[in-house]
């Protein structure tokens, strides 16, 4: 890692969620968000003493009004440590109106935030658009209370929903040049399908645990930019990786590393197309080029086996093998993370090892996500 002394203070991401238009079946349950309170729980990676939060109305079709917002340490379920409550402001005001297509950043907040802390962001809304922005794959429970309930220690009567809405990022301010972030760009396997709700056991969570436990990498944060059902090239759920690359990678704060782990949905969902492998490789090359222009190191992860899944056929497997051969052997990535080898059944090539299989032969179990994270050499984050 670079040793060039102090730098001017700079923002570095410690938590993020890739935003998309919330589908109808993922919208907030009654009583909804308008004129009500929403408490959402996140776990940061890096700690810091000055922080800021980001809120998105990117896909909204009308302004979104936040009447008041606060941050507090989460204590399990909907509970918070009331002694840790800090009010969030926007240009000195307690409220903010977010125009359609816009993201707002809060004022800088003095906050003693240890690494790996679980935090609760509580928002009291005014009017909200019919089209909501959010992240359906939160793997984390959120809590809706009628009216204003910002400072409630616990929300025992809340309506629960396992989605995030509006919140898109949390940064810390640091003058240490070694403090930086790694972005994980991916699909549902990065988003954590098959992981434990409220368990923080996605592979990116386990990687954050490992980074924070090692004195050589304790200054590296992890930003999970996975979207379930996402594709690199076209179609899928949420904006494609090609179309969201600038937003979810280049525009994130303090990024020094990128892990590209996406492509299985392009192979499996679209049906066999002989050009898919070359199109994915072309996209990976573009990611590498754009990231390198900003001094970001790019690590390529191989696509996991999907034998026995809905994607399983000879042609799709040939495409996966072709793409993985290029990832492993082209030399174009700054390093290769051979995730496929880490979780493949050694006695049944092309299939996930049973312990690592969530049951659908495509997504991983918590043990599988742990295995992915443990297969990553932490020395890659000392460069």
Closest CA to 231 of 288, 270, 274, 257: 270
DSSP secondary structure of 37-63: EEEEEEE-SS-EEEEEEEEE-TT-SS-
**What's the confidence (pLDDT) of residue 4?**
44
Report whether 163 contacts 138 (CB < 8 A): yes
* Residues 6+ positions from 313 with CB-CB distance below 8 Å: 272
pLDDT in tens, 28-39: 999 999 999 999
Range 210-218 average pLDDT = 98
Tally: H helices and E strands in the chain: 8, 20
Closest CA to 50 of 130, 121, 1, 106: 106
DSSP secondary structure of 181-214: EEEEEESHHHHTTTS-TTT--SHHHHHHHHHHHS
The answer on pLDDT for 222 being more than 60 is yes
The answer on pLDDT for 132 being more than 90 is yes
The answer on pLDDT for 5 being more than 60 is no
pLDDT in tens, 267-280: 999 888 899 999 99
Range 203-211 average pLDDT = 98
- The secondary structure of residue 164, as a DSSP letter, is E
pTM for this one?
0.97
The answer on pLDDT for 1 being more than 70 is no
- The CATH architecture to which 178-382 belongs is 3-Layer(aba) Sandwich (3.40)
Range 13-26 average pLDDT = 98
Closest CA to 248 of 103, 93, 47, 41: 103
32 vs 49, 143, 328, 352, CA distance in Å? 34, 11, 47, 40
Question: Cα–Cα–Cα angle for 333, 225, 172, nearest 5°?
Answer: 100
- The secondary structure of residue 102, as a DSSP letter, is -
Q: What's the pLDDT band for 2 if we cut at 50, 70, 90? A: very low
Q: Is 289 helix (H, G, I), strand (E, B) or coil?
A: helix
**What's the confidence (pLDDT) of residue 272?**
84
pLDDT in tens, 67-86: 999 999 999 999 999 999 99
The answer on pLDDT for 221 being more than 60 is yes
| Alpha-helical runs (H) found in the chain | 188-191, 203-213, 241-245, 264-269, 276-293, 314-329, 339-343, 366-374
Q: What's the pLDDT band for 6 if we cut at 50, 70, 90? A: low
Q: Is 146 helix (H, G, I), strand (E, B) or coil?
A: strand
Q: Is 169 helix (H, G, I), strand (E, B) or coil?
A: strand
- The helix (H) or strand (E) run that includes residue 272 is none
- Chain centroid to CA 366: how far? 17
State what percent of residues in the chain have pLDDT above 90: 96
**What's the confidence (pLDDT) of residue 271?**
80
Closest CA to 54 of 66, 62, 36, 46: 66
* Half-sphere exposure in the Cβ direction for 328 (13 Å, CA): 12
Closest CA to 201 of 330, 43, 47, 324: 43
Mean per-residue pLDDT over the chain, rounded: 97
The answer on pLDDT for 383 being more than 90 is no
Q: How far apart are CA 7 and CA 179, in angstroms?
A: 11
Q: How far apart are the first and last CA of the chain?
A: 4
């Amino acid at each position: 890692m670079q040793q060039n002394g102090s730098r001017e203070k700079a923002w570095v991401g410690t938590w993020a969620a890739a935003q998309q238009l919330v589908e109808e079946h993922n919208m907030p349950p009654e009583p909804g968000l308008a004129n009500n309170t929403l408490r959402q729980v996140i776990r940061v990676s890096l700690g810091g003493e000055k922080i800021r939060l980001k809120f998105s109305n990117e896909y909204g079709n009308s302004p979104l009004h936040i009447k008041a917002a606060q941050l507090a340490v989460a204590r399990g379920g909907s509970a918070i440590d009331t002694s840790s409550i800090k009010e969030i402001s926007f240009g000195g005001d307690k409220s903010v109106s977010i125009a359609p297509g816009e993201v707002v950043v809060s004022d800088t907040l003095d906050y003693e935030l240890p690494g790996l802390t679980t935090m609760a962001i509580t928002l009291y809304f005014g009017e909200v658009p019919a089209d909501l922005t959010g992240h359906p794959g939160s793997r984390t429970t959120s809590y809706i209370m009628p009216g204003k309930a910002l400072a409630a220690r616990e929300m025992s009567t809340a309506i629960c929903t396992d989605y995030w809405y509006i919140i898109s990022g949390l940064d810390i301010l640091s003058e240490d040049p070694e403090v930086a972030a790694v972005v994980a760009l991916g699909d549902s396997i990065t988003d954590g399908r098959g992981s434990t709700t409220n368990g923080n056991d996605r592979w990116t969570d386990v990687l954050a645990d490992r980074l924070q436990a090692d004195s050589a990498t304790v200054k590296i944060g992890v930003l999970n930019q996975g979207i379930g059902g996402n594709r690199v090239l076209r179609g899928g759920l949420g904006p494609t990786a090609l179309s969201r690359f600038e937003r979810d990678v280049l525009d994130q704060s303090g990024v020094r590393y990128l892990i590209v782990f996406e492509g299985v949905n392009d192979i499996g969902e679209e049906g066999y197309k002989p050009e898919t492998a070359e199109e994915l490789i072309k996209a990976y090359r573009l990611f590498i080029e754009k990231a390198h222009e900003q001094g970001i190191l790019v690590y390529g992860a191989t696509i996991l086996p999907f034998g026995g899944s809905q994607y399983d056929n000879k042609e799709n497997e040939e495409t996966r093998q072709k793409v993985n051969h290029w990832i492993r052997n082209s030399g174009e990535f700054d390093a290769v993370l051979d995730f496929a080898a880490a979780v493949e059944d050694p006695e049944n090539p092309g299939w996930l090892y049973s312990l690592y299989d969530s049951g659908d032969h495509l997504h991983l179990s918590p043990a599988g996500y742990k295995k992915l994270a443990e297969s990553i050499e932490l020395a890659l984050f000392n460069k």
